[in-house]
Structure 1
Amino acid sequence: MNRIVWLALMVSQIGFFSSASAQTADFQTDSIFFRKMADDVLSSATAYENLRVLCKTIGPRLAGSPGMYKSEAWAEQVLRAAGADKVWKQAVQVPHWDRGGKDEAWYQVTDANGKKTRIQLDILALGNSIGTGKNGLFKKAVLIEDFEELEKRKEEVKDAIVVFNNVFNPRNLSVGQSYGESGAYRRAGPSRAAKYGAAAILIRSVSASANDNHPHTGTTSYDSAYPKIPAAAMGLQDADKLIAALKAGKSIQVYYKSLAHFKPDATGHNIIGELTGSVFPDQYITVGGHLDSWDPAEGAHDDGTGCVQSIDIIRAMKAMGYKPRYTIRVVLFANEENGLRGGAQYAQEAKSKGEKHVFALESDAGGFTPRSFGFT
């Protein structure tokens, strides 16, 4: 709720002060108003209920999936219920990546006496990755600590499954920094390994806690200069065991099967709601989050919270009887997770129509207590 307060108050202040000097503003009146708005937001359970419905009755909503269309209908309904003066859909062609069913993986350890032991892996294909085909892959595993070691041992990874030990650094004060560092292996790992003939890669799940074994998917990308190879994330507990065995010098082969593939592009939509400005109706303050989520997940923090926080700005302003000077536009973007096409479509149409946007604010960092704003 604190995050909604920050969003609402920032948007409101722009409306108050955009054309008036600080010297003439009635700060006491403004302060009382902001306090009342904050109280309304903090006392209302609407955003929580909206998030519950989005996560628990719609759930996963990856671009192109049935969940995407269900979430779009939900978003239109909730924006109208919040009091938006106008709600509409902005069409955009989105990629349709399909996991193709349950991913499967295990590894086989051969001891000094030739005895073979099979151990299951909790695994998820990385978003946008290619599949292995119905027969899967059964290859020697090679442990690689980082990209520097990959360059040194490039002759060893040909036709092997590379296991990257991309540890999430818990010592960084910024979780985002650790996510970026560890996530580099998710984003670039497949092509870096394919450059030297690797058959596939496995990475540690790009997540902070080893208290569970649920792998995180996220998106990968491919460098067109190299072959596309399958890529997957392992649950952290399973990853620890596999990597420990490899470090101990054990002979290990990994079986991995994924039927992931792309279907033809689908028509998705940015869902947009407006509160019409009283002075500058043709100038826009845009706030929003992305409506899509990855296929195994409900997307509560990423980015259900960003959506319901943005919607609640309209609800709170209506509840206060506040008439914004500029038009407040809430945009729930399509296809952030594996394509960014919703944001690109919105920007393209705004430019082609000559729209004047005075400020834009996106919420896509979870529902945590806000500490700052980033500006670009």
Structure 2
Amino acid sequence: MKKIIPILFAILSINSFAQNNSKEDSTIIKKIYDTSLLNGKSYEWLDYLSNQIGGRLSGSINAQKAVEWGEKELKALGIDKVWLQSVMVPKWTRGVTEFAYIETEPGKTTNVPICALGGSIPTPIGGIKAPIIEVKTFEDLRELGYDKVEGKIVFFNRPMQADLIETFKAYGGCVDQRYSGAAEAAKFGAIGVIVRSMNLRLDDYPHTGSMSYGDLTNNDKIPAAAISTNGANLLSSMLKLNPKIKFHMNMNCRTWKDVESFNVIGEITGSEFPNEYMVVGGHLDSWDLGDGSHDDGAGVVQSMEVLRLFKEIGYKPKRSIRVVLFMNEENGLRGGKKYAKVAKNKGENHVFALESDAGGFTPRGFSFDCDDANFEQVQSWKSLFEPYLVHYFAKGGSGADIGPLKKEGIVLAGLRPDSQRYFDYHHAKNDTFDAVNKRELELGAATMTSLMYLFDTYGVK
């Protein structure tokens, strides 16, 4: 009996300590959410980034303006360090608006919305016009063979799988046709490629995105464009009625020499473990069709807001927390790779990294790239987020920009907002400020800040 009493006392003490910690964590997290919703700055920042600067394609004047803006705003927060990290990035320009039509017979045409894919070569002056052939997969292309593809424009028309609730899986299931479609079609003698936009909604917005020619020589490259979902359905229907229709496309895009740009970095130095680094970030570049509010202006301002909220509530991190506004996620990932390379060369000990790059919609939770011990720890925090209807905690991917930091002992995480509407805007002209809801954006910023707080408080396992 005498031995049991100390054990019971120890168990009660541990439980009491855990309950007190949980209560304190709940209080701080509530303060974070209250401050973000009542006195947030993320929406104001996004307004300026989107409406005063606009689309921020790597290597553009607007991208440089965004770098200067990010540096200025982070310095205004009064944090410990702010600096620019040089990185060479690709420069590609779209030129004048693309033009396309379907020709059923000479003089009888129907215009359809297209946009050049990022990195595509232009068409010859005046455009190209040729018979068009529809496929859904690369296997379809191989089955047709060179004789049936040569001299034609290939139309990849594989839609996102609508019955998948996780829309990023639906995106992953068809994005290969955008990225590698031109490289594959060129092998069979195609003279151009049209790809159905990665979009679950039926509309008239073509969605751009990065593409690659693989190991093709310059002479073998062919122009590649996206067509809107409505345009794709129309084209497919017309091909069924008349397989001999022709397609005309005209694009004026161009690839230039690489230019210098920058990652923008701000830091609050840790009070107890200054050599343990925690990163929160999003990518500052965007495509050029809209103003990049969801992809990824939202992630940029939410990440900046993490540091501002800590300052606002008077929280002093134990570990050094960095916000990184990465450059060139969209068409090269140069910023993420450069940050990781410099960190490795300096021997910096990064223990946690969080990225927001899935839009400014209502936060649902996080996905974690980590070992079982750390995932067990984050699962124990789930109840702290339940009052804010943040329930999704799962193992999975994190973010493209923080991926290069991956090593043993680090935890990588990605904010997971509700994704059902994300691909309505992704890489399209309608990705604009008016598509972002202020409250949803602020909830996301608070959710990110809360997770950063917990990892700063308890560390990694």
- Same topology, TM > 0.5: yes
What letter is aligned with 1:196? Answer: F
Question: What is the aligned counterpart of 2:126 among 128, 135, 149?
Answer: 135
What letter is aligned with 1:361? Answer: L
Matches within 5 A, 1:219-368: 219-225=210-216, 227-368=220-361
Matches within 5 A, 1:69-84: 69-84=64-79
The CA distance in 1 between the partners of 2:80 and 2:16, in whole Å, is 33
In structure 2, relative to structure 1, the CA distance for the partners of 1:214 and 1:280 (3 Å cut) is: same
Name the structure 1 match of 2:46: 51
What letter is aligned with 1:166? Answer: R
Measure how far apart 1:175 and its partner are.
0.7
Name the structure 1 match of 2:138: 147
In structure 2, relative to structure 1, the CA distance for the partners of 1:83 and 1:313 (3 Å cut) is: farther
Name the structure 2 match of 1:204: 196
What letter is aligned with 1:371? Answer: R
The CA distance in 2 between the partners of 1:75 and 1:66, in whole Å, is 14
The CA distance in 1 between the partners of 2:93 and 2:264, in whole Å, is 23
Please give the TM-score of this superposition, normalised by the length of structure 1. Answer: 0.89
Per-residue CA shift, 1:8-31, capped at 9, x if unaligned? Answer: xxxxxxxxxxxxx99856412232
Name the structure 1 match of 2:161: 169
Contact 1:82–1:311 (CA under 8 A) maintained in structure 2: no
> Is 1:193 the counterpart of 2:185 in the alignment?
yes
Deviates more, 1:318-327 or 1:161-170: 161-170
Measure how far apart 1:282 and its partner are.
2.3
Structure 2: gaps of 5 or more residues: 1-13, 370-461
Measure how far apart 1:249 and its partner are.
2.6
> Is 1:156 the counterpart of 2:148 in the alignment?
yes
Contact 1:64–1:94 (CA under 8 A) maintained in structure 2: yes
- Secondary structure at 1:292 match in 2: coil
Name the structure 1 match of 2:82: 87
In structure 2, relative to structure 1, the CA distance for the partners of 1:153 and 1:41 (3 Å cut) is: same
Name the structure 2 match of 1:3: none
Contact 1:106–1:256 (CA under 8 A) maintained in structure 2: yes
Name the structure 1 match of 2:377: none
Deviates more, 1:28-37 or 1:91-100: 28-37
In structure 2, relative to structure 1, the CA distance for the partners of 1:51 and 1:163 (3 Å cut) is: same
Name the structure 1 match of 2:454: none
Please give the TM-score of this superposition, normalised by the length of structure 2. Answer: 0.73
Contact 1:82–1:312 (CA under 8 A) maintained in structure 2: no
Q: RMSD of aligned C-alpha atoms?
A: 1.7
Aligned residues: 351
In structure 2, relative to structure 1, the CA distance for the partners of 1:283 and 1:22 (3 Å cut) is: farther
> Is 1:36 the counterpart of 2:31 in the alignment?
yes
Per-residue CA shift, 1:340-367, capped at 9, x if unaligned? Answer: 0000000010011111111111111111
- Secondary structure at 1:132 match in 2: coil
Name the structure 1 match of 2:57: 62
- Secondary structure at 2:36 match in 1: helix
Name the structure 2 match of 1:8: none
Question: What is the aligned counterpart of 1:119 among 110, 124, 129?
Answer: 110
What letter is aligned with 2:263? Answer: N
Per-residue CA shift, 1:43-69, capped at 9, x if unaligned? Answer: 234111111111111110000001101
The CA distance in 2 between the partners of 1:160 and 1:86, in whole Å, is 56
> Is 1:101 the counterpart of 2:96 in the alignment?
yes
Measure how far apart 1:202 and its partner are.
0.3
| Identical-residue share of aligned pairs (%) | 44
In structure 2, relative to structure 1, the CA distance for the partners of 1:360 and 1:124 (3 Å cut) is: same
